[in-house]
Amino acid sequence: PWLPRPARAPREPLWFGAQRFRLGSEPGGLVPPNERWSHELPLLEFEIDAQAVSWARYAEFAGDGGYDDAQWWTPEGWAWLQADSRRAPRYVEQMRQGVLVHRHGQMQRVGATQAAVHVSRHEAQAWCRWAGRRLPTEPEWELAALGGASRGFVWGDVFEWTGGSARAWPGGGDSLPGFEPLPAPGRCGVLRGASWMTRPRCKHPRARRFEPLHADALFCGFRSCAL
């Protein structure tokens, strides 16, 4: 069944202090190749959004001419934008006076406090540059998802783009029957979390999904970190 999309009241970003963190999954059960294996690494202090960027926040970027200004885009992202004649995220027909989307043959107005969705990583990165922020790294996202719930960190509304490219963790990455092989380094970005349509038993804060940077057909969005 189609579930209603959650709307979120704005929350202040969360701050996490410098620490050591174990990234990835521990052995035990069927662990996907892209989550193998848990390893410790240092993290510097960082500030991260408590929830995914909303349509209201994203619409400010579009309204400020974000799709017309190459300074906010990577060269690859700008080339994709021009080739696709993109003026807004996929399915969006209007972003002024509210966001209007066209899905399943119908026009629908979406809530301003819902997470922006069908956003490519090119668009997520451009928004971050415009806002003077950045995408979180995978360790930052995973730490916040595991340890920030009691402080208001919310995930699971949309799959979320992170910085960096898809790669295997140290000691992992070997292919397993039933799993796709990992992409070549630099070819794909990483989505973390889950969407509001993901079955609860499939939601896992250490799960990783690899997609091309232009992918936007998924229920994908993003959150940001302070520079």
CA atoms within 13 A on the CB side of 198: 20
Q: What percent of the chain is modeled with pLDDT above 90? A: 71
Using one digit for the tens of pLDDT, what is the confidence trace for 121-134?
999 999 999 999 99
Using one digit for the tens of pLDDT, what is the confidence trace for 86-96?
999 999 998 88
Q: What is the mean pLDDT of residues 100-110?
A: 85
Whether pTM > 0.75 for this model: the answer is: yes
Q: How far apart are CA 77 and CA 122, in angstroms?
A: 5
Given pLDDT bands bounded at 50, 70 and 90, which one contains residue 62?
A: very high
Q: How far apart are CA 96 and CA 201, in angstroms?
A: 38
Q: How far apart are CA 133 and CA 224, in angstroms?
A: 6
pLDDT of 3: 63
Is the bond into 78 cis (omega within 30 degrees of 0)? no
